[in-house]
Structure 1
Amino acid sequence: MNEKSHGGRRIHLNPAGAGRMPAAVRAVLTEWTRFEDRYGPYELDERLEDVLHRRLGRRLAALLGAPPGDTFTCTGAADAFAAVLSRLPLGPRDRVWTTPYESAANLGAVLALRARTGCRLEVVPLRPDGDLDLEWMARHIGADVALVCVPHVPSGCGVVHPVEDIGRLLAPHRCLYAVDASYAVGQLPVDAARIGCHLLTGDGWRFLRGPYATGFACLAPRLRDALTPYGGPPLVPPHGAAAAALEQALALHTPATARPDLAPGLRAAVQDTAGTELIAPGRLQSGIVTFRHQDVPAALVRRRLADRGVHVWKTVAEEVPLYLPERGVVTAVRASVHHDNSAEDIALFADALKDAVTVTGTGPFPAPARHPQPQPVPVPVSSRPEAGGPPRARPAVRRHLALVPDGSAGTGSLRPGA
């Protein structure tokens, strides 16, 4: 089912960035966009009432293992996460846990929460292998921990976090548990009930292959009750035509994950290419593979692969600002697989990658730092306010962010950078 272009085979290895919409999904998006252009948004909403208010919610509930009343549509996971955090009734005595794998957008929302409430922000340390230190979490959990934020799969590397184990660890305590499933849903099984989280967010345009600016949030009754006195979460619903297309994408979605040999084959192709280094912390990996080459910059690798019919993504370290920059990573290449990829796609990628790095680039990258040993105390993010406040997600513009050290064991706060 690979598309043809210029008479050659086109291999899409970027569902983590944007999945390929099936033809039926594109047709629904086009049909209802044209309808709105002719008749207006009110007529569109009336025609799509059953889709927007019943069918889409049922499909999301079935996908996520949540009651239909717990699911809400929105313009994206980062928007939903920021909206919920903007209404959380926390105070200066509360602790909030995040992880070194948090995205820049979500970390910005956490920093805004701290600025608004005065809560204490702590970063859960890692084990030497790069996994989250659950033993540390068990030792340090207490009644003052009000919120724990964990990405199921980070955007900058393919590690899969044990979100269900974390949910069981946190269940006896008063904290709210938020899981970002943006890079997990559609490629891995995601079950909100089994995870035990109070907030689950995700995007519709990645592995689910829906249109851009669509997403969802699952809010457990306890979280909704906490937000009710403050007007509830101000979630912005997606455009009607986009929501209808997302419903169609979910109707076509199958629970089948990528073939078990595809992701290991992708990693093996990288490891078999001279001069490459995998960025693969943790013991369990997903269908996302991140790497860099010692001589050829990531942007050039991406362009050369595209010239050879293989489409991947260039990621910048500051997209995961508490993890990748501390390991000497500036930019990297991210490839990902979906269940519609094939073993032939992986073989073509392997050949194209070897060809793409044969011409040397600007020089070697610095040696990567080892994973830090777990610390006896959490690593706080800087409490000093930055001019202009936390960064805002700008989907249309990819901006680099700089890490400002504050002397707190290698972490820092974010500010817009060059």
Structure 2
Amino acid sequence: MTIFLDSAGSSLPPREVVDEVVAHLRREAEVGGYLAAQEREADLEAGYGLVAELLGARPDEVAFTDSATRSWLTAFDAVPLAEGDRVLISEAEYAGTAIPILRRTREVGAVAEVVPSDPRGQVDLDALTAMLDERVKLVSLTHAPTNSGLVNPAREVAAAAHEVGALVLLDACQSIGQLPVRADELGADVITGTGRKWLRGPRGTGVLVVRRAAAEVLRPRLVDLHGARWTGPGEVRLREDARVHEVWETSVADRLGLLAAVRHALAKGLDVIEREVGERAGRLRDGLSALPGVTVRDIGERRSGIVTFTADGLAADEVKRRLAGRGVTVTVSGAPSTLLDMTRRGLTEVVRASPHYFVGLDEVDRAVELVGEVTAGDR
């Protein structure tokens, strides 16, 4: 028996997702990629409304990319930044977003500043409010970090940032698909996410939501013939919707698979998914907490489906290896991926387990038993 506890890495797609991707690839082999795409044009167009329904946005506020990283980089590159501007990040910032922030702010003479965490580990709202002024152009917030069960208070952060006119860029890579993530409720100006994690879509798929008000502020630079028209020898006209952030070439098969995953999630219900994922993650935390020599490392007032832990006397990679030998799939999160938070907490690495709703409660219990077995001899 295999117990899959790595949906925070790349989850297991449902059958309808696999069938959609494979069927379209076969159709491309029969008639070519262009004609195969034309045959699915209506379905591809309907996908904007489908994702808009999932993420509480309008269809013209939705764009598709090849990853959460591409969505985030494209949006961030379009944020106007100049000398003297300030960008605020939290201690949960992911390396994939922190690195471009640090590089670009240094290049333009802006400054990146860290909002401290409160005693529970989430972004400190009082500290954030005290740091905000008219020079803050962007607040970058990781909704659910990769290295703990934390869920940051996105709605409250957005409300505070908007008081000084700052944009809020929400990295929802680890929350879309396991938690309700709605732009109209959270208030974020830009939301980025992936298909391969909790949404159970194919790898190589990403989504981007750009609210209309934010679109008026952003200045897209990474634009090709899909996002703009060449209207004269020296003239270009950009699209006015979120698709200005897309590029012409894309995997149609993967896009269709992503849309199948979105339909699957909507049919099950995000409230149901949140409850079932939360039940499994809570059961896993409780079980691991009761094991001698095992320490759960999750923080935050609100928790996601990510469960992290360490074992006395054992490196995280060794725990992962031993569990793999017993049919349990977990992964490791090291300090470089979330350097500020891990440094603050004195951690170099954690074992990360992320049970989705398709993992049975009996499998969760068995995983706890196996963690106890693989760590028992090293205390």
TM-score scaled by length of structure 1 = 0.80
CA-to-partner distance for each residue in 1:69-97, whole Å, 9 max, x for gaps? Answer: 10111111111111122232211121100
Which of residues 145, 162, 166 in structure 2 aligns to 1:175? 166
Number of equivalenced pairs: 352
Q: Which residue of 1 aligns with 2:108?
A: 117
CA distance in 1 between partners of 2:155 and 2:281 (Å): 22
Q: Which residue of 1 aligns with 2:13?
A: 21
1:208 maps to 2:194: no
- Supply the AA of the counterpart residue of 1:275: G
Deviation at 1:315, TM superposition (A): 1.6
CA distance in 2 between partners of 1:55 and 1:108 (Å): 35
CA contact (8 A) 1:164 1:196 kept: yes
Q: Which residue of 1 aligns with 2:25?
A: 33
Q: Which residue of 1 aligns with 2:213?
A: 222
Q: Which residue of 2 aligns with 1:239?
A: 251
Give secondary structure in 2 for the equivalent of 1:177. Answer: strand
CA distance in 2 between partners of 1:51 and 1:288 (Å): 33
Q: Which runs of 4+ in 1 moved over 4 A?
A: 228-234
Which of residues 337, 340, 357 in structure 1 aligns to 2:355? 337
Deviation at 1:265, TM superposition (A): 0.9
Q: Which residue of 2 aligns with 1:397?
A: none
Q: Which residue of 1 aligns with 2:233?
A: none
Deviation at 1:234, TM superposition (A): 4.3
CA distance in 2 between partners of 1:48 and 1:322 (Å): 45
Q: Which residue of 1 aligns with 2:231?
A: none
1:318 maps to 2:336: yes
Give secondary structure in 2 for the equivalent of 1:174. Answer: coil
Give secondary structure in 2 for the equivalent of 1:36. Answer: helix
CA-to-partner distance for each residue in 1:348-381, whole Å, 9 max, x for gaps? Answer: 11111111112329xxxxxxxxxxxxxxxxxxxx
Q: Which residue of 1 aligns with 2:38?
A: 46
TM-score scaled by length of structure 2 = 0.88
Q: CA RMSD in A?
A: 1.8
More helix by share: 2
Which of residues 28, 48, 53 in structure 2 aligns to 1:62? 53
- Supply the AA of the counterpart residue of 1:56: G
CA-to-partner distance for each residue in 1:247-280, whole Å, 9 max, x for gaps? Answer: 1111111222242432221101211121112111
CA contact (8 A) 1:55 1:247 kept: no
- Supply the AA of the counterpart residue of 1:249: A
Q: Which residue of 1 aligns with 2:227?
A: none
C-alpha change, 1:325 and 1:36, in structure 2 (3 Å) is farther
CA distance in 1 between partners of 2:214 and 2:282 (Å): 38
Which of residues 76, 79, 83 in structure 2 aligns to 1:88? 79
- Supply the AA of the counterpart residue of 1:28: E
CA contact (8 A) 2:144 2:172 kept: yes
Q: Which residue of 1 aligns with 2:148?
A: 157
CA contact (8 A) 1:258 1:287 kept: no
Give secondary structure in 2 for the equivalent of 1:107. Answer: helix
CA distance in 2 between partners of 1:357 and 1:300 (Å): 10
Deviation at 1:326, TM superposition (A): 4.0
CA contact (8 A) 1:71 1:216 kept: yes
- Supply the AA of the counterpart residue of 1:194: E
- Supply the AA of the counterpart residue of 2:351: V
Give secondary structure in 1 for the equivalent of 2:63. Answer: strand
CA contact (8 A) 2:77 2:220 kept: no
CA contact (8 A) 1:213 1:238 kept: no
Q: Which residue of 2 aligns with 1:274?
A: 292
Give secondary structure in 2 for the equivalent of 1:102. Answer: coil
Q: Which residue of 2 aligns with 1:77?
A: 68
Q: Which residue of 2 aligns with 1:295?
A: 313
Q: Which residue of 1 aligns with 2:280?
A: 262
Give secondary structure in 1 for the equivalent of 2:173. Answer: coil
CA-to-partner distance for each residue in 1:103-153, whole Å, 9 max, x for gaps? Answer: 111111212321342211101011233221100111221111100000110
Greater Cα offset, 312-321 or 41-50: 41-50
CA distance in 2 between partners of 1:96 and 1:354 (Å): 44
Q: Which residue of 2 aligns with 1:357?
A: 375
CA distance in 1 between partners of 2:363 and 2:126 (Å): 40
CA contact (8 A) 1:130 1:281 kept: yes
Give secondary structure in 2 for the equivalent of 1:200. Answer: strand
Greater Cα offset, 36-45 or 259-268: 36-45
CA distance in 1 between partners of 2:32 and 2:90 (Å): 44
- Supply the AA of the counterpart residue of 1:305: L
Structure 1 unaligned spans of 5+: 1-8, 362-418
Structure 2 unaligned spans of 5+: 224-237, 239-243
Give secondary structure in 2 for the equivalent of 1:263. Answer: helix
